[in-house]
Structure 1
């Protein structure tokens, strides 16, 4: 009688594969949904926080909630300030383009209007009006001047011809910093204001 040195295979290889497959299909091996685990962890943290708060004195609970609200408000304020700063950096100041003449800005505005780019036409037309006033010595050359500051200076310099300048300044701000669309009529009105106030033509 011959003895086999190999142990008997019980179960067979096929049966072992089936058993392993059934084992791996059990729910405890498939609990790998990352989103569900994150939600469960947050729920546990929230439950722990609520139970801790329930045991804390009312004054301490109120102070904790107040600090949390203030932190959220500070975060919202910081995000809005960062967005506003990014818009200002992207757009630039009214008199920010050094070395560009009023005539060049006026030509750019007219070309943008002809091409249907009304927002560019409004911005360049208002800048042309401001730069022309600087070139003629009517207002001071202040590189960081806002549209509103330029409007006030123009109204002081030419009160009889600058009545529409504050409205044009608001339009400039709305288009450049508020990302609002402009119409052809609005662009033409700023060009006409350049003519009236600065005597472009």
Structure 2
């Protein structure tokens, strides 16, 4: 052991038996000998594994991140928790309102498939879906029933490839009192079919009510002249 420049240096000494002088080892070889000794397996049998070390490092990082965020957030850790909960609540509300997002390549497509069916068949399919609580499928079939019924009554021409928006626009000109409801029904159909939104019972009931109302509605054709009421003064004079 020696004191040089105010720094205490330890020089390993190997003692021999008898009267032989001790053997000294310089610092670097001593450090290497210690490193080799400590690298033996017997000293590391209880060390954590690679996965455990990675998890420990991850949680240490999360703790440091949380501590840094809590110091920058009004209210400290409690304020940070409130903000996180508020964000999660907003995300949950959006997920519930909009449903599972789906990738779509078109915003509007045709109403019917290749197999033509009557309005009565579409209504029966809609009621069957509604009875099982499958409101999205029920709403789709009810919109198809509405358009097919208008075609059967010659209020719409039978045209393959027609979209719900086109059908609502054309029918609205013949049935102006129901034009707004027809456009809303077309939006509901597109939202369910191509927008990935789930319909509820209320959506289906609105479509069913519209279908029933249209069945009892007389069309107004362009150029039709309403009946004129007799002139009261002329009738009295006569």
TM-score under structure 1 length normalisation: 0.53
Runs of 4+ in 1 over 6 A off after TM superposition: none
Counterpart in 2 of 1:159? 176
5+ residue gaps, structure 2, are 1-102, 218-238
Query: Paired residue for 1:179, among 183, 191, 196?
Result: 196
Q: Secondary structure at 1:178's aligned position in 2?
A: coil
Is 1:132 the counterpart of 2:132? The answer is: no
5+ residue gaps, structure 1, are 1-81
Q: Secondary structure at 2:214's aligned position in 1?
A: helix
TM-score under structure 2 length normalisation: 0.45
Shift of the alpha carbon at 1:162? 3.7
Is 1:120 the counterpart of 2:141? The answer is: no
Larger RCO: Structure 1 or Structure 2 (Cα < 8 Å, ≥ 6 residues apart)? Answer: 1
Counterpart in 2 of 1:84? 105
Greater strand proportion: 2
Cα root mean square deviation, aligned: 2.1
C-alpha distance in structure 2 between counterparts of 1:153 and 1:96, whole Å: 20
Shift of the alpha carbon at 1:185? 1.0
Q: How many residues align?
A: 115
Query: Paired residue for 2:127, among 110, 118, 128?
Result: 110
Alignment of 1:63-74 (within 5 A): none
Shift of the alpha carbon at 1:83? 4.3
Greater helix proportion: 1
Query: Paired residue for 2:214, among 182, 197, 201?
Result: 197
